[in-house]
Amino acid sequence: MGLERVFERDDPAFIPYLTAGDPDYEASQTYIEALERGGADLIELGLPFSEPIAEGKTIQDAIVRSLEAGMTVGRYFEFVEELDVDVPVVCMTYYNLVFQYGDSEEGPRPFVEKAAEVGIEGLVVVDLPAEEAGPLRAACDEFGLDLVFIVAPTTTGDRLDSMKTQVSGYVYVQARLGVTGARDDVDDATEESLARLSDWDVPKAVGFGIKTGDHAERIVSAGADGIIVGSALIDIVAEGHENGDDTETVADRLEAKARELKEGARRGAQNRPQPERT
Amino acid sequence: MSTDDAHDPKFGEYGGQYVPEALMPAIEELADAYERYVLENEDGFMDEFRERLADFGGRPTPLQYAEQLSARYDTDVYLKREDLLHGGAHKLNNALGQVLLAKYMGKERIIAETGAGQHGTATAMAAAHLDMPCEIYMGETDIARQRPNVFRMRINGADVNPVTVGRGTLKEAISETMRDWATTVENTHYVIGSIVGPHPFPKMVRDFQAVISEEAREQTIEKTGGLPDAVLACAGGGSNTMGTFAEFVDDPDVALYAVEAGGSSLSVDEERGVAPNSATLSTGEEGVLHGARTKLLQDSDGQIMESHSVSAGLDYAGVGPELAHLVDEGRVTPVNVDDDHALEAFHRLSQDEGIIPALETAHAFGYLEEHHDDLGESVVVNVSGRGDKDLETVIEETSKRDLDIAPDMSVFDTGGMMNPDSGHTDGDH
């Protein structure tokens, strides 16, 4: 049953994010495969958009590198088809790319149809709130994709109720306000956010600012079913790129970082609260 | 004030609220404040706004009969003098409205983006006037070509944050300001500078700017006994355009022309992702950017193109959703004027009428020069801003061209700025 299968209660999901094609097509494929070896349970794969208003500098830079290296929507779908990984892939992007694909008269449907064809199992569209998501939700239902929504610390009341009815696969819990980017500590807002979602029956994956195994441990022990990590991994890609390190070396570092994060999440699961906790 | 449904976030298919989730509660809070304070005048908000616009801003601005241009074109030309508003551009109407609204909402900090610097300047002035801390995001390219406005913002106490991403122009500055807002949304108000962005910004900004057409309509009737045949306004994001058109939209006999920047060409370099123009209404395709569904300059994938105009204030790849809708409905006619004709018009208005216009405004006069025969017997042109801020650009761009109308500055030449034969054509001084 869709992406929910990824979230086993005793084995919290580790969900890495990378921008497809950063810093180039081939290296990016190798990096994603390394993350799977390091314990990734699901990959959030960024389709780069030229105006990424929700991203901090780390992911912005990754998007620029990828676009400059020639990433397009067509190449992205080829990229997913060629990926040698067994875990599910979720496409993370902005609505204009989804909206423009194929015949614009059909809205988001052609994009979703193509995504399903290449094996993408879910979508996160960061600038598409539940209020505007009707046509995309319908297309995802038609082609069997999950539609993941982001819950922010500022999301409350009616908005939570509306998202609860539309979300599937998992819910992306934004750990703190602001844009993406690795941080040195974990915000208390995470626990409050998880408490607000305690009666949702989809898995809760927490992202924004997770950088180390210790962060992962704390987030999972606070009740998360999974952790999403992007900027801390892209920092490794960016540093390797700037230093001219070879692809295998960078891939090894990514695999080691993935292992650290996955193990941290597993430690967190050992002292995780019981499901009835509110 | 407009009569459309303030609760409706859309203009036909356009508009809406396409923003990251963290911002949704803030724009809902803003929509609520817009309805209460702006539309229903709660706590006398609109009374205070109008009073401050008069006393601090200098409203009403005149509607001036342009004698030389009228004789030249054998058409009655009236100038709505927004360049005489405090700060030198129409931008203060909106900036003052939003900063005051932020104050009513209990916000503690103001942020804004700016392209040409006019909106940043107006926001900095309004924030100083209302004693609010203010930070402005501005692309580094625009900082380089609009230095006087950077100084004006700083002098008024605002911090100016350079944006180095991408080409360093308005669209990058908007994205950067949205990032700040996503982090600080609980105590900060983002003063969007045009009729763009998520609902309620397009409607709210239009309503703050509608004072232009409200006055222009009354003043035309007062001076001529009737309505004009045509109204012209330059269009970048579209705030002065919609402000100038708003009260004429329901007058079907008044033709409305939105004059866009044709740049150096209307063709597009898909390979490089560059549109050498900012003619979004004329050439753009429907898409979603910066919170709204609207017309955009974009490639076939939906990546946003770099736009271009000699005028930093028009250099934006999007446009307000209401304008996009009015164009589709056939109510507004989108036209465009290229860089060369805009520069010519800049010099002509300066010489003929003694008014140095903003380069944005000059596009509207470029259209008037070429098409005055088709515009009827009386035309209102919005002088959206004054051109002091553009002088460095005008000197540099004039030096690259052989413009008969440009003044001969060679007698004063110390660096060859104006004289194409001097050998110094890079505007360096």
**Which tokens is A97 given?**
């790319």
Q: Which of B74-78, B255-259, B393-397, B422-426 is least confident?
A: B422-426
Cis before B200? omega within 30: yes
| Owner of token pair 């002065």 | B240
Residue A122: give its domain's CATH number.
3.20.20.70
CA of A240 vs chain B CAs: smallest distance (Å): 21
Of B21, B183, B287, the CB nearest to A151: B21
- Which residues of B does the annotation mark as catalytic? 91, 113, 384
Q: Are B58 and B86 in contact (CB under 8 A)?
A: yes
Of B22, B166, B285, the CB nearest to A154: B22
Check A56 against B179: CB less than 8 A apart: yes
**DSSP H helices in B268-377:** 280-283, 321-328, 339-353, 359-371
Please tell me the predicted confidence (pLDDT) of residue B428: 38
Q: Got the DSSP string for A14-34?
A: EEEEEETTSS-HHHHHHHHHH
A273 band by pLDDT with thresholds 50, 70 and 90:
low
B183 band by pLDDT with thresholds 50, 70 and 90:
confident
Q: Within a domain: residue A87?
A: yes
Most confident residue range from A128-132, B23-27, B205-209: B205-209
Q: Got the DSSP string for B264-298?
A: T-S--BTTTTB-SS--HHHH-EEEEETEEEEEE-B
- CA gap A195, A173 in Å, rounded: 11
Q: In what order do the strands lie in the sheet with A171-174?
A: A146-148, A120-125, A89-93, A43-46, A13-19, A226-229, A204-207, A171-174, A150-151
Q: Within a domain: residue A66?
A: yes
Instruction: Give contacts of A154 with chain B, Cβ < 8 Å.
Output: 21-22, 24-26, 185-186
Q: Within a domain: residue A4?
A: no
Residues whose CB is less than 8 angstroms from the CB of residue B312 and which lie 6 or more positions away in sequence, other chains included:
B115, B116, B117, B142, B145, B146, B169, B170, B359, B393
Q: Which of B428 and B246 is assigned the larger pLDDT?
A: B246
Average pLDDT over residues A129-156: 94
Percent of chain B past pLDDT 70, that is, above it, reads: 95
Instruction: Give contacts of A60 with chain B, Cβ < 8 Å.
Output: 165
Q: Are B387 and B116 in contact (CB under 8 A)?
A: no
**Mean of pLDDT over chain A:** 93
Q: At residue A31, what is the residue type?
A: Y
Chain B residue with Cα closest to A133? B18
Instruction: Give contacts of B22 with chain A, Cβ < 8 Å.
Output: 54, 152-155, 174, 177-178
Give the structural domain span for A240: 11-270
Please tell me the predicted confidence (pLDDT) of residue B237: 94
Of the residues B13, B21, B297, the best mutation for testing chain A's interface (the one with the most A CB atoms within 10 Å of its CB) is B21
Residues whose CB is less than 8 angstroms from the CB of residue B117 and which lie 6 or more positions away in sequence, other chains included:
B138, B142, B146, B148, B149, B150, B152, B153, B312, B389
Please tell me the predicted confidence (pLDDT) of residue B103: 97
Q: Within a domain: residue A172?
A: yes
Q: What is the pLDDT of residues A40-70, one digit of tens each?
A: 999 999 999 999 998 888 999 999 999 999 9
Q: What is the pLDDT of residues B79-91, one digit of tens each?
A: 999 999 999 999 9
Q: Are A147 and A116 in contact (CB under 8 A)?
A: no
Q: Within a domain: residue A246?
A: yes
A275 band by pLDDT with thresholds 50, 70 and 90:
low
Q: Which residues of B touch A (CB under 8 A)?
A: 16-22, 24-26, 28, 165-166, 171, 175, 178-179, 182-186, 273, 285-291, 296, 298, 300-304
B375 band by pLDDT with thresholds 50, 70 and 90:
very high
Q: At what angle do helices B24-33 and A157-166 cross, to 10 degrees?
A: 130
Most confident residue range from A78-87, A100-109, B114-123: A78-87
- The torsion angles phi and psi of B139, rounded to 5 degrees, stand at -65, 145
Average pLDDT over residues A185-190: 72
Q: Are A73 and A45 in contact (CB under 8 A)?
A: no
CA B122 from centre of chain: 12
**Which tokens is B332 given?**
């507004």
CA B22 from centre of chain: 28
**Mean of pLDDT over chain B:** 92
Please tell me the predicted confidence (pLDDT) of residue A276: 53
Domain count, chain A: 1
Q: Which of A236-240, B63-67, B267-271, B345-349 is least confident?
A: B267-271
Q: Which of A85-94, B101-110, B145-154, B365-374 is least confident?
A: B145-154
Q: Within a domain: residue A224?
A: yes
- CA gap B370, A4 in Å, rounded: 63
Please tell me the predicted confidence (pLDDT) of residue B414: 63
Q: Within a domain: residue A277?
A: no
Average pLDDT over residues B49-70: 98
CA of A25 vs chain B CAs: smallest distance (Å): 18
Q: Which of B199 and B402 is assigned the larger pLDDT?
A: B199
A177 band by pLDDT with thresholds 50, 70 and 90:
confident
Q: What is the pLDDT of residues B274-308, one digit of tens each?
A: 888 899 999 999 999 999 999 999 999 999 998 88
Please tell me the predicted confidence (pLDDT) of residue B20: 92
Paired residues of A190 in beta bridges: none
CA of B199 vs chain A CAs: smallest distance (Å): 12
Q: Within a domain: residue A218?
A: yes
Residue A269's H or E segment, with its range, is helix A247-270
